[in-house]
Amino acid sequence: MNINNTIDLDFDKNHLWHPYTSMINPLPVYPVTHASGVHIYLENGEKLLDGMASWWSVLHGYNHPILNEAIKEQVDQMSHVMFGGLTHRPAVELGKKLIEITPPSLTRIFFADSGSVAVEVAIKMAMQYWQSKGINTKNKLMALSKGYHGDTFAAMSVCDPVNSMHSLYKGFLPEHYFVPAPTSRFNDAFDGSEIKVLEQHFAEHHNDVAAFILEPIVQNAGGMNFYHANYLKAVRELCNKYNVLLICDEIATGFGRTGKMFAVEHADIEPDILCIGKAITGGYMTLSATLTSDKIALGISEGEAGVMMHGPTFMANPLACAVANKSIELLLESDWQNTISRIETCLKTHLTPLVSYDSVADVRILGAIGVVEMKHPVDVAAVQKHLISKGVWLRPFGKLIYMMPPYVMQDEELIQIIDAIKTML
Ligand code: PMP
């Protein structure tokens, strides 16, 4: 019995699963009462600077008056209504905005409720497209090692096989082709031999490959790998040459995080199918979208099913669309490019020197993303406890301590996080 009316941590520990944790020996969880601006407030009164933007999603800060108002206004109209046979202003407005800010060939939008589902939908689109062309052999995918695309089965099947433990689901999980992760770094010289290897995979497998799926420029949960734009350009060219569709998963990189509105712009390419999520609502609610071209959308509709075979209950949820509209408006009205380059400059000035510590293998920065790669895996529980004592919230994984703050975080606050990281090295 919880007699203090505090958050019942015993119940939480015994009954609630948290992401990627054990029910026998879970990582500690910290009870939060509220969040505002760039701060998360714990029940014990501690105030933490949030360096994670709640996993890439919070752009304008927590508890933002304009985003709050957007939700309040919408809830008084309708919080939800089914999208089958009905439509509404928030969805139509959001659709128009997304078509405006994404690459020009992407004109058809499927709204869903999480990043993983957006990836499932993208895969179905690719499969249904080839079916509709009468090509039934293209029923595999090509993906990058160290990639991450979500935790549902089709999405997981194109995640790095080791990191996402494909061995656990052997016999059930579809098996696809994996290409080595790109090695030329974003800012270094490009090693053209990478393309030879890539082309071998295309040449060998293209007849049964429907689509190549990747996270453009930044491979995130698979190792925070920032790779060269020429690699992405080459994938686009090879997809054209070998008749393979290109699915770009910008669920983490979208909405300015890498310094461009979408990371594909670094390589000046357009995908056939684009997945977005996370920051689409400014971190307020769960919503995702899969965008594609007229060619693919109309192709699917001409196929055997005649329709796109997906329809989530909460498709285009009005509350989520309303807050997404406001979040995108706030972003576009802001001087977001300069904001991201301010954050990048601050990270370059203050985070880069950490590379001189013996325990650090590498420091890399792109846009509003800063990564410290350690030589050895970090003890997440111990590191988090220590960082909290310094007033900072981060969630390291593997050998990586990394930050991708809300865009409203100021330089002094970024430096406070970096100073806290320093005390861990
Ligand atoms: N793709 C990428 C690149 C992601 O980073 C994530 C989430 N970490 C997903 C897909 C899955 O999104 P969700 O957690 O909303 O299902």
What CA–CA distance (Å, rounded) separates 322 from 262? 21
Q: Is 154 in the pocket of ligand 1 (CB under 6 A)?
A: no
pLDDT digits (tens, 9 = 90+) for 394-417: 999 999 999 999 999 999 999 999
Query: For residue 363, how far is its CA from the centre of ligand 1 (angstroms)?
Result: 23
pLDDT digits (tens, 9 = 90+) for 153-186: 999 999 999 999 999 999 999 999 999 999 999 9
Calculate the average pLDDT of the chain: 97
**pLDDT tier, 1 (very low <50, low <70, confident <90, very high otherwise):** very low
Output the CA 293–ligand 1 centroid distance in Å: 22
Q: At residue 2, does pLDDT exceed 70?
A: no
Active site residue 148: yes
Report whether residue 277 contacts ligand 1, using a CB cutoff of 6 Å: yes
Domain with CATH 3.40.640.10 in the chain: 69-333
How many residues are present in the chain? Answer: 425
Domain over 69-333 is classified CATH 3.40.640.10: yes
Closest-lying ligand 1 atom to the alpha carbon of residue 155: 10
Confirm or reject: Cβ of 58 under 6 Å from ligand 1: no
How far apart (Å, rounded) are the C-alpha atoms in residues 382 and 49? 18
* Residue of the CA atom closest to atom 1 of ligand 1: 149
Q: Has residue 56 got a pLDDT over 90?
A: yes
Separation of alpha carbons 300 and 125, rounded Å: 7
Q: Please tell me if the CB atom of residue 116 comes closer than 6 angstroms to any atom of ligand 1.
A: yes
The whole-number average pLDDT for the span 218-223 is 93
Structure tokens at 59: 């752009």
Cite the residue boundaries of each domain of the chain with CATH code 3.90.1150.10: 9-63+335-422
pTM of the full structure: 0.97
What average pLDDT score do residues 117-145 get? 97
CB 50 within 8 A of CB 40: yes
Which pLDDT score, from 0 to 100, does residue 5 have?
85
With 70 as the cut, is the pLDDT of residue 418 above it? yes
Mutate which of 116, 164, 217, 404 for ligand 1? The one with the most ligand atoms within 8 Å of its CB, which is 116
Question: Are 179 and 197 in contact, with CB atoms under 8 Å apart?
Answer: yes
User: Is residue 41 annotated as part of the catalytic site, yes or no?
Assistant: no
For residue 349, the tally of other CB atoms under 10 A from its CB is 14
pLDDT for 303: 87
CB count within 10 Å of CB 252 equals 25
N- to C-terminal Cα separation, the chain: 41
- Which residue among the candidates 249, 284, 326, 402 is catalytic per the annotation? 249
Distance CA 384, CA 251 (A): 25
Ligand 1 in contact with 147 (CB < 6 A)?
no
Q: How far apart are CA 8 and CA 15, in angstroms?
A: 11
For 310, the token pair is 């997906």
Q: Extract the tokens encoding 157.
A: 């099947």
CATH code for residues 9-63+335-422: 3.90.1150.10
Averaged pLDDT for residues 182-207:
96
Choosing from 62, 129, 148, 402, which is the catalytic residue? 148
Q: Report CA(279)–ligand 1 centroid distance (Å).
A: 11
50 is catalytic: no
Look at ligand 1, atom 8, and give the residue with the nearest C-alpha.
Answer: 150
Q: Is 20 a catalytic residue?
A: yes
